[in-house]
Structure 1
Amino acid sequence: AGSLTPVPTEVFLRDQIAAGDTPGPRMRAASFERDNNPVQMGPDGPQPRETGPDAVRAFIAEQAAIGFDSVKLLLSNDDVFFEGGSMVTQYSPEEAAAAGEQARESGVWLNCHAQNPASIKLAVRGGFRSIYHCSYADAEAIDLLEEAKDSIFLSPAVGIMWANVHEGEEFGIDRAMAEHMGSVRSLEAMTALYPELRRRGLRVLPGGDYGFPNNPIGRNARDLELFVTLFGYPPLEVLRAATYYGGLVTDTPVGLLTPGYLADILVVSGSPTTDVTVLQDQENLVAIMQGGRFHKRAERLALATA
């Protein structure tokens, strides 16, 4: 969804992978995230920054020129930073509208962190493509999301909330800290909200906010289990969200086994259509094929097909 540093690592990596110079997954490069705080930290301490529609436009145009495919705005703040932060909306309607206009002009997509109802509504009305979290959507926001369900994608990023609430003690996040960070409340809100969003046909994707000590990259497949156990998704439906919706959100012809689509195929030992947890064990991933070529093929599979 976005980067925490302004270095365009993702642009370089995307291009290296696309050129065949290094192995890696097909990817889109997401920009440094912008929080619209008028004071930003820098090597020389706090520095003033311009806000307003023109400043937002300039940021998006700049990120597009660097080569990013999508630009991320923090439309809401977060309880991690201060109590009640998730209910603070950081952009005005004029700024959100300007963001949408500039993104279309620059040919990039918009992603956002949006938790409270006002920020979610700004995202939908501004033409944002991907909305992360949506934890505290009210009835009006849910209706608005449903109206735009053919043009937007949602990602709760439930993995980090689960990790904070249930697996953070080793890293200094006990129950009291998880409550202070807003993770307990957010996880409860997501668990109540996302079954309704699923019922209304919203395109909800797993993933997001991996890379923290208690939620490291490489555990991403756990999101599929959480979709099943917390949100009520049948295994087949969450597999479709991870594959077919993954292709749609990145505008890449993957996620279907049909002519005209790229032959990106995962061969699994076990039956993820009934138990998605088998995907969390790397030993069960017996073959990974990208574009019709094997990136990984377990010896037992090679022998079976010899």
Structure 2
Amino acid sequence: MRRAACTSSIKRRFGLPAALLTWLGLGLGAVLAAGTPVAAAPAGRDLSIQAGAVFDSVRGEVLAGRRIVIHGGRIVEVRPAHDDDPPPDLDWRDRLVMPGWFDMHTHLIGDIQSADPLAPLKSSAAEDVLLGAAHAAATLRAGFTSVRDVGTYRGLVDVALRDAIRRGEVAGPRMFVAGAYVTAPGGGGEVTGTPGASLPAEFRLGVARGEEALRERVRVLAQGGVDLIKVIATGAVLTEGTEPGAMEFSEDELRAIVDEARKHGLDVTAHAHGAEGIKAAIRAGVRSIEHASLIDDEGLALAKRHGVFLAMDVYNGDYIDEVGKRDGWSADILRKNRDTTDAQREGFRKAVAAGVTVVFATDAGVFPHGTNARQFAYMIRHGMRWQQAVQSATWHAARLLRVEQELGSIEPGKLADLVALPLPADGDPPDFEAAVRVVQEGVRVEGPAVTPPLSAVRRRAPEEPVTPP
């Protein structure tokens, strides 16, 4: 989890104060026209791609020499390439093509982490969304065609950005949003350092204590149009006055949140650093655990037994240590980061070895958006084969969100979200940050324009079997 920094950067990025932007009535699409995607072909036309290789994310295999045909934003054919094939629209014979990546833990809204714990109170909702739109475009260009955006201090602002992207008004990844943090008063998901009475209501949308009050908060978020519920089960590294290892809700409270969310067709993910909070959240029925920094062997066994996904952000500890020291972040935050970083990476290694499903999740917003792919190298360094790391950002991520019938693999019937990297030498991992090429629903992402509207993606119900596309 992260805090937004003061949004004076609106002026730096757009050259105008936010108040003037509002007065002029500029739409997000106009403000962000530069550096966002352009269609490679008119809507409805087939787009053919000749790929040097395609990554099969279901099996974790590389398939050499493939022809991909897209129509109306969906893949209609994937087959071996032939010498007599007509010239493709995109000649990617020197590239490895993968499904578009998911980052399963982002915070697009507002500015990135700073030393000021009260920074979220110093921006407006409009400024937060404008910055979020810029962050969304950078994330998409980096290869992330979908994100799970797991909370914002100002409630439901992420819903507005998600919907603007869906309508094609703003370029960005397909967003699955939490709307706010369900958190205890003064807990890891609240703006701390100022009396609670002074916080505007929009900053307390998910703040509650007690089973019935928490159920009511879940209902409010569900009515606000969220895609999932994010509960802060333990203290946080980046929130002053909380401890990552300490539980902030009882198991009964967590169970009430999960039960109410299920009534609204929503899964719950739990921010949980501490071992006891992780285990309580798993027993309560959450779908995934964020961070899992201090997970123990019992917690790993529980996660595997219950099919709970772990979203472990193993890169950003280094960023926090370096930039936090340089920029004067509090000694308390730097101490908590040191206490959790190495332990989390050891837990990650154990989770991979034990066969627990780990998804790609960075906590982007703590560090600059658009550099998300840096985490692939950390996942490989700490125990994954590169093929497993890609599966964590594609097939497994889609399964967590219950959208694997639409996304997460390159198969006929799926939405045509693709990322292409230079072909690596045999046996070497790809360079995940080098010359990335991106296609989102059959539209190539490059140049000064805005994407078309995105298709609605249906989430599979928990009890519904997976059917082929």
* Same structural fold, with TM-score higher than 0.5 when normalized by the shorter chain: yes
1:92 aligns with 2:246: no
- Return the match for 1:139 from 294, 297, 316: 297
Check conservation: 1:110, 1:129, Cα contact below 8 A.
Answer: yes
C-alpha displacement of 1:153: 1.7
Q: Report the Cα distance in structure 1 between the residues aligned to 2:197 and 2:429, rounded to whole angstroms.
A: 49
- Return the match for 1:8 from 149, 156, 162: 156
Superposed, 1:118-267 pairs within 5 Å as: 118-149=276-307, 152-172=308-328, 177=331, 180-212=334-366, 215-229=367-381, 231-252=382-403, 253-267=406-420
Question: Per chain length, whose mean CA-contact separation is higher, i.e. which structure has more relative contact order (CA < 8 Å, sep 6+)?
Answer: 2
Change (3 A) 1:274 1:9: farther
Check conservation: 2:153, 2:180, Cα contact below 8 A.
Answer: yes
Q: Report the Cα distance in structure 1 between the residues aligned to 2:275 and 2:234, rounded to whole angstroms.
A: 10
Count of equivalent residues:
286
Q: Report the Cα distance in structure 1 between the residues aligned to 2:342 and 2:312, rounded to whole angstroms.
A: 12
C-alpha displacement of 1:4: 2.8
Residue identity matched to 1:258: E
Deviates more, 1:85-94 or 1:60-69: 85-94
Q: Report the Cα distance in structure 2 between the residues aligned to 1:32 and 1:11, rounded to whole angstroms.
A: 10
Equivalence for 1:22: 170
1:294 aligns with 2:448: no
Q: Report the Cα distance in structure 1 between the residues aligned to 2:241 and 2:220, rounded to whole angstroms.
A: 32
Deviates more, 1:132-141 or 1:38-47: 38-47
4+ residue segments displaced more than 6 Å: 46-49
Q: Report the Cα distance in structure 2 between the residues aligned to 1:132 and 1:260, rounded to whole angstroms.
A: 31
Q: Report the Cα distance in structure 2 between the residues aligned to 1:80 and 1:69, rounded to whole angstroms.
A: 24
C-alpha displacement of 1:101: 0.6
Equivalence for 2:209: 51
Superposed, 1:49-128 pairs within 5 Å as: 50-81=208-239, 85-128=243-286
Task: Give structure 2 stretches of 5+ with no counterpart.
Answer: 1-148, 448-469
Residue identity matched to 2:325: E
SS at match of 1:220: coil
Cα displacement string for residues 187-216 of structure 1 (whole angstroms, at most 9, x for unaligned residues) = 11012111111122222122232113xx21
C-alpha displacement of 1:78: 2.5
Residue identity matched to 2:375: D
Q: Report the Cα distance in structure 1 between the residues aligned to 2:288 and 2:389, rounded to whole angstroms.
A: 18
Equivalence for 2:47: none
Q: Report the Cα distance in structure 2 between the residues aligned to 1:117 and 1:51, rounded to whole angstroms.
A: 21
Q: Report the Cα distance in structure 2 between the residues aligned to 1:134 and 1:93, rounded to whole angstroms.
A: 17
Q: Report the Cα distance in structure 2 between the residues aligned to 1:211 and 1:38, rounded to whole angstroms.
A: 21
Change (3 A) 1:267 1:146: same
Deviates more, 1:71-80 or 1:97-106: 71-80
Change (3 A) 1:9 1:154: same
What TM-score do the two structures reach when normalised by structure 2?
0.56
Tell me how large the CA RMSD over aligned residues is: 2.7
Q: Report the Cα distance in structure 1 between the residues aligned to 2:321 and 2:214, rounded to whole angstroms.
A: 35
Cα displacement string for residues 155-183 of structure 1 (whole angstroms, at most 9, x for unaligned residues) = 11222212123444322259xx4884321
SS at match of 1:199: helix
Check conservation: 2:182, 2:208, Cα contact below 8 A.
Answer: no
1:279 aligns with 2:427: no
SS at match of 1:76: coil
Check conservation: 2:410, 2:416, Cα contact below 8 A.
Answer: yes
Task: Give structure 1 stretches of 5+ with no counterpart.
Answer: 298-306
Q: Which has the higher strand share?
A: 2
SS at match of 2:359: coil
Q: Which has the higher helix share?
A: 1
Check conservation: 1:30, 1:68, Cα contact below 8 A.
Answer: yes
Identical-residue share of aligned pairs (%): 23
Q: Report the Cα distance in structure 2 between the residues aligned to 1:45 and 1:295, rounded to whole angstroms.
A: 40
Cα displacement string for residues 247-296 of structure 1 (whole angstroms, at most 9, x for unaligned residues) = 222333222111221111112224297234x2224xx11x3111222223
Deviates more, 1:73-82 or 1:154-163: 73-82
Change (3 A) 1:16 1:223: same
Larger radius of gyration: 2
Check conservation: 2:152, 2:158, Cα contact below 8 A.
Answer: no
